[in-house]
Amino acid sequence: MKSSWSATLTANLVLFYLTYCIYICTMTVYEAIRQMRQLTVRGQSFALSYMTYSMQRHESHGEIVCEHALLVKNPRPASSSAMSSCHNDITCQDFMLTYRDQDTGEARHFWQPLLLSFNHQLLTSID
């Protein structure tokens, strides 16, 4: 039989963990993107992480973490055939974000639904 202090400690740890997860895991992908755009307008960098995915090769190279990023405008493909796997009037570029890594100066892009965290805060969903 557990002592009362042990049961109280266990209950407090569980409540702390649940409160922490609820607090940490409440931002959606689109809220994070909105905040990224606001920070970029102010010239303030932010941290992000995402999973990679190549539509041409149908493969991922895992998670990418960037500690100091700023968004840049997505380049538009020269012709609609550049992204032939996207249909109707929506291009694949509409689902991607392009950023510049402030540490390396390298421009990179990622699929919006594959965004995992923003400023070290885990994201919940894309809606």
pLDDT for 73? 85
Task: Report the range of poorest mean pLDDT among 1-15, 40-54, 55-69.
Answer: 1-15
Q: Which residue has the tokens 């992908």?
A: 29
Report the phi/psi class of residue 120: left, alpha or beta, with left for phi > 0 and alpha for psi in -120 to 50: left
Residue 108's CB: how many other CB atoms inside 10 A? Answer: 16
In tens, the pLDDT along 115-124 reads 999 999 999 8
- By mean pLDDT, which of 14-23, 57-66, 91-100 is the weakest? 14-23
Query: Taking the C-alpha atoms of 45, 51, 52 and 55 in order, what is their torsion angle to the nearest 10 degrees?
Result: -120
Q: What is the C-alpha separation between 95 and 43, in angstroms, rounded?
A: 23
Judge if pTM exceeds 0.75: no
Q: Report percent pLDDT > 90 for the chain.
A: 52
Instruction: Choose between 124 and 90: higher pLDDT.
Output: 124
Which residues in the chain belong to E strands, given as ranges?
46-51, 63-72, 96-101, 107-111, 115-118, 121-122
The edge-to-edge listing of strands for the beta sheet with 46-51 is 107-111, 96-101, 63-72, 46-51, 115-118, 121-122
- CA–CA separation, 55 and 15 (whole Å): 42
